[in-house]
Amino acid sequence: MMDDILLESLPLPLRLALSYAPRDARRETLVLLALDTRLAAIVRGDGEAIIAQLKLAWWRDRLAENPENWPAGEPLLSALSDWRGNLEALGELVDGWEGLLVESLGQAQVRAFAAARGTSWQTLADGLGGKGDPETVAQAGQRFALADLALHLGDPAERDVALHQLAQLQAGRVKLNRQMRPLAVLNALTQRALKQGSGELLDGPAAMALAMRVGITGR
């Protein structure tokens, strides 16, 4: 039941990517995606920045506490209570999202945001047993973060900052292990959306075919 609630909170592209996670990695990946989605909704909401900061501070404080002290009744917190990764490391993810709450987004904020999301995937990989190169996972997470950010930025100057930093990470392909297959799918879909000038990751049969190919083969 709890996992169903978290799954329903995910946008369709994330649900599709999650479906390619191996059984031993699926729940841990679901929890990370649900947290990232929750933080994104806080930052991208229509409310005032101070309200968003207060909500993010609440999550940061919870992640720094012993789960035994967490309030009951929050499905995401309940799922995080037995997450196999380092919970305190996820505090960096909160910081990364909070860094976007500025009047003018610059290189420092974008770089910190990408690094934080990359670290969250590396933390997931560590919790799953550390298979593969941690630096490779972190870099793939940064690529996804930057592409995803560029797709959501309406200001051309800010979008250029994200695209410039993404270009610096495009020197070579990264090979992810099967546990990180959802990240590989998300990377492929966001890169395609940028090239196609599409605002939707799943905008037709070609996107679905790409997700299926990467989900099955990893490339």
Domain ranges of the chain: 2-217
The per-residue pLDDT for range 66-105, each reduced to its tens digit, is: 999 999 889 999 999 999 888 988 999 999 999 999 988 9
pTM: 0.95
> How far does Cα 60 stand from its chain's mean position?
16
In terms of phi and psi (left: phi > 0; alpha: psi -120 to 50; beta: otherwise), the region of 130 is left
> How far is residue 208 from each of residues 20, 23, 37, 101, 201, measured CA to CA in Å?
13, 21, 21, 33, 9
Average per-residue pLDDT for the chain? 92
Domain 2-217, what architecture?
A: Orthogonal Bundle (1.10)
**CB 98, CB 112: distance < 8 Å:** no
Rounded distance between C-alpha atoms, residue 155 and residue 160, angstroms: 9
